[in-house]
Amino acid sequence: MPSSVRETTVEEPAAPAAPPRAPAPVRRTKLLALPEVRWAGAATLAFLLALPLQLAGLSAWWWAPLYAVAYAAGGWEPALEGLRALRERTLDVDLLMIVAALGAAAIGQVMDGALLIVIFATSGALEALATARTEDSVRGLLDLAPETATRVTGADGGTAQVPTSELRVGDEILVRPGERIGADGEVVDGGGEVDQATITGESLPVPKGPGDEVFAGTVNGPAGALRVRVQRDPSDTVLARIVTLVEEASRTKAPTQLFIEKVEQRYAVAVVVATLAVFGIPLAFGADLTGALLRAMTFMIVASPCAVVLATMPPLLSAIANAGRHGVLVKSAVAMERLGQIDTVAYDKTGTLTEGTPRVVAVTPETGFDERELLTLAAAVEHRSEHPIARSVAEAARERDLKLPEAYDFTSTPGRGVAATVDGRKVEVGAPARLLPDATEQGTAPEADGTTTVLVLVDGAPAGRLALADRPRPDAAAAVADLARLTGTPPVLLTGDGPGAAANVAAAVGIEDVRAGLLPHEKAAAVSELAQSGRAVLVIGDGVNDAPALAAAHTGVAMGRAGSDLALETADAVVVRDELAAVPRAVWISRRARRLVAQNLVIAGVCIAILTVWDLVGHLPLPLGVAGHEGSTILVALNGLRLLREKAW
């Protein structure tokens, strides 16, 4: 690729800023798109058509076919699942419900059996809805990736617009200034700065050149074009893998659910044995066959643990869906359940408690310049640039109400800085090591106090320096306080930064326990030490260097959009929108989900106990048994789905 791919702006208006970061849209699954909803709807409609015909006293030829449709539409899928389980020598509630419904029909209680089928199918549809909402909450992330890309078609540099889905490993694409990158790959030519906030959460654009990795959905800066070789299939990009992670989360099972399913197998066998006893013992003492069979069918229905089975997953899946809708991707039901158990929080500093967006904290002029003049000259040049440091310098000038002169012959060199002519003088602003190779300040690494230095040259001579520092997120102090109230214990700051910078941020956000200068393995050791003292530690970090601590924690939450494979594999949850305030809300909704699970288990247990005792001791009508049992099943499902509501967050 010719070197002309590196573009320099001369006497032209600044390129438009990259599109603002916006929450991923939520694409809602339509109800009728779910097969469980369609089958449950068909069964319900057939039942509602048949019931008035039967109650009106019409011949069975009018209403029996409709009941048959209700049985078939609502019962074929659970019957198939039950037979599959039976083939594997297990017994589940699906088969119990189908047997009970068919048994009711066999003794003339056709309407009661159909009612059982309809309510059971409705319960399954509600569970499917919770799962679908979980998936919907993150599918909008795929919209961050562009639909088309400019593929290089030959050695002569020809290009063609193609759908990103058609890109293959080894293809090369051209990414012009301001465009979104269409695939995960490696830069082979060109240079620029890429806004990776959509993937890593980094607020500062990252310089990119040959050999550097870039991600689909990130935005190329305004100062240069990139030629990128595709290294991952479109189905395997970081964004696509995020969606896959959440889809897998909806299929995982929390420890409580696993325990219930383990007990369910034995309980189902016990119900079958007890049902046979309820049927056989009265017969041995001369009871009526139809009456004994009716009592046995009623017992099988009311004793089946349908409500217990549905007690756990709807609340947890609803919590996952609601959190995902608000930018917190919880990777599994296990993680959602564990999130509510934490009692201590350990934070990383840079990119987690801080924005990563610098601001001017000191202006140091050389002899012959004053602070206002130095800042005016620097801002006159920088206001033409879209770099975050440039925006910070321009913002500092606006805060001081400085009038900026016109800048001419503006140029921007990635990695070096910007330059322009202001009032007849050439003004350069950038990294000291690049503008003056002999300068002692590197300008690319924070100093002991956490500041970064920018050098200003006027006609080739130093005019002064600007010190910039990262600042705490606006919501950091409130989020730290909220989590401290939820856990009841003081938080901890674990950072690799120096003590000075760490202390400044800690004081600003309200953390007293500060441990600075830690390497990644030392962060993990600090977390393990807290865990050994009996604490369930939540670690909140933002990068690969935090991965060991995230792995050692009871629960790990990654800030940003989790671009690295290591972060995706290690963290239990990801805060997509970089909103620290979302973390205490996620902990809160996890605790609500755990409370709802406990409520559901109590409701299910009480209903089963009352109905079974009623059937054994007295006479429980089959319709009432069906309504009570399946009503409790729907009740626990709806109770769990309450967490889908907006106000639950």
Query: Is the Cα dihedral 145, 148, 154, 155 positive or negative?
Result: negative
Query: Is pLDDT at 563 greater than 60 in this prediction?
Result: no
List, for residues 608-634, the tens digit of each pLDDT value.
889 888 888 888 887 787 778 777 877
State the average pLDDT over residues 400-407.
Answer: 90
State the average pLDDT over residues 508-522.
Answer: 84
pLDDT of residue 257: 58
Q: Is 136 a catalytic residue?
A: no
3-state secondary structure (DSSP) of residue 613: helix
Tell me how far apart the alpha carbons of residues 433 and 441 are, in angstroms, rounded to a whole number.
Answer: 7
Confidence of residue 255 (pLDDT cuts 50, 70, 90): low
DSSP 3-state percent helix, strand, coil across the chain (nearest 5): 50, 15, 30
To the question of domain 359-469 being in CATH 3.40.1110.10, the answer is yes
Tell me how far apart the alpha carbons of residues 570 and 548 are, in angstroms, rounded to a whole number.
Answer: 8
- Residue 317, φ and ψ in degrees, nearest 5: -65, -40
Whether residue 40 contacts residue 75, with contact meaning beta carbons closer than 8 Å, is answered with no
> According to the 3-state scheme, what is the secondary structure of 305-369?
CHHHHCCCHHHHHHHHHHHHHCCEEECCHHHHHHHCCCCEEEECCCCCCECCCCEEEEEEECCCC
Q: How many CB atoms lie within 10 A of CB 612?
A: 21
Q: How many CB atoms lie within 10 A of CB 267?
A: 19
List, for residues 180-226, the tens digit of each pLDDT value.
888 888 898 888 888 765 554 444 577 888 888 888 877 888 778 88
Between 357 and 487, residue with greater pLDDT = 487
List, for residues 95-154, the tens digit of each pLDDT value.
777 877 787 787 777 887 787 788 778 777 776 775 666 555 555 555 566 778 888 887
Between 515 and 156, residue with greater pLDDT = 515
pLDDT of residue 456: 92
Mean pLDDT estimate for the chain? 78
Beta bridge partners of 557: 540, 573
Question: In terms of residues, how long is the chain?
Answer: 649
pLDDT of residue 204: 59
Confidence of residue 243 (pLDDT cuts 50, 70, 90): low
- Residues spanned by CATH 2.70.150.10 within the chain? 3-26+146-236
Query: Is pLDDT at 340 greater than 80 in this prediction?
Result: yes
DSSP string, 228-292: EEE-S-GGGSHHHHHHHHHHHHTT---HHHHHHHHHHHHHHHHHHHHHHHHHHHHHHTT--HHHH
Tell me how far apart the alpha carbons of residues 209 and 228 are, in angstroms, rounded to a whole number.
Answer: 10
Q: State the residue for tokens 């140029």.
A: 411
List, for residues 58-91, the tens digit of each pLDDT value.
888 888 899 999 889 888 888 887 788 778 777 6
Which region among 9-13, 287-291, 472-476 has the lowest average model confidence (pLDDT)? 9-13
pLDDT of residue 492: 92
Identify the active-site residue in 195, 348, 546, 572: 348
Confidence of residue 9 (pLDDT cuts 50, 70, 90): very low
Tell me the CATH architecture of domain 3-26+146-236: Distorted Sandwich (2.70)
pLDDT of residue 336: 86
- Residues spanned by CATH 3.40.1110.10 within the chain? 359-469
> According to the 3-state scheme, what is the secondary structure of 475-509?
CHHHHHHHHHHHHCCCCEEECCCCHHHHHHHHHHH
Tell me how far apart the alpha carbons of residues 256 and 312 are, in angstroms, rounded to a whole number.
Answer: 7
State the amino acid at position 427 in one-letter form: V
Query: Is pLDDT at 426 greater than 90 in this prediction?
Result: yes
CA 547 to chain centre: 18
Tell me how far apart the alpha carbons of residues 164 and 151 are, in angstroms, rounded to a whole number.
Answer: 9
Between 10 and 389, residue with greater pLDDT = 389
pLDDT of residue 83: 80
pLDDT of residue 304: 76
Specify the pTM: 0.60
Whether residue 615 contacts residue 608, with contact meaning beta carbons closer than 8 Å, is answered with no
pLDDT of residue 442: 44
Task: Read off the tokens for 354.
Answer: 């801080």
Whether residue 302 contacts residue 271, with contact meaning beta carbons closer than 8 Å, is answered with no
Give, to the nearest 10 degrees, the angle between helix 313-325 and helix 582-617: 160
Give the helix/strand (H/E) hosting 590: helix 582-617
CA 113 to chain centre: 41
State the average pLDDT over residues 453-480.
Answer: 88
Q: What is the DSSP letter of 642?
A: G
Query: Is pLDDT at 438 greater than 50 in this prediction?
Result: yes
List, for residues 273-296, the tens digit of each pLDDT value.
888 888 888 888 877 877 888 788
Query: Is pLDDT at 586 greater than 80 in this prediction?
Result: yes
pLDDT of residue 30: 65
pLDDT of residue 41: 86
Please write down the long-range contacts of 564-568, taking CB distance under 8 Å and 24 or more positions apart: 564/200, 565/238, 567/543, 568/238, 568/241, 568/242, 568/245
Quote the radius of gyration of the chain (alpha carbons, Å).
32
Which region among 50-59, 558-567, 583-592 has the lowest average model confidence (pLDDT)? 558-567
Q: Each residue of 50-77: b (16+ CB within 10 Å) or e?
A: bbebbeeeeeeeebeebbebbbebbbeb
pLDDT cut 90: percent of the chain above it: 10
Query: Is pLDDT at 489 greater than 60 in this prediction?
Result: yes
pLDDT of residue 445: 43
Strands 537-541 and 555-559: parallel
Q: How many CB atoms lie within 10 A of CB 168?
A: 10
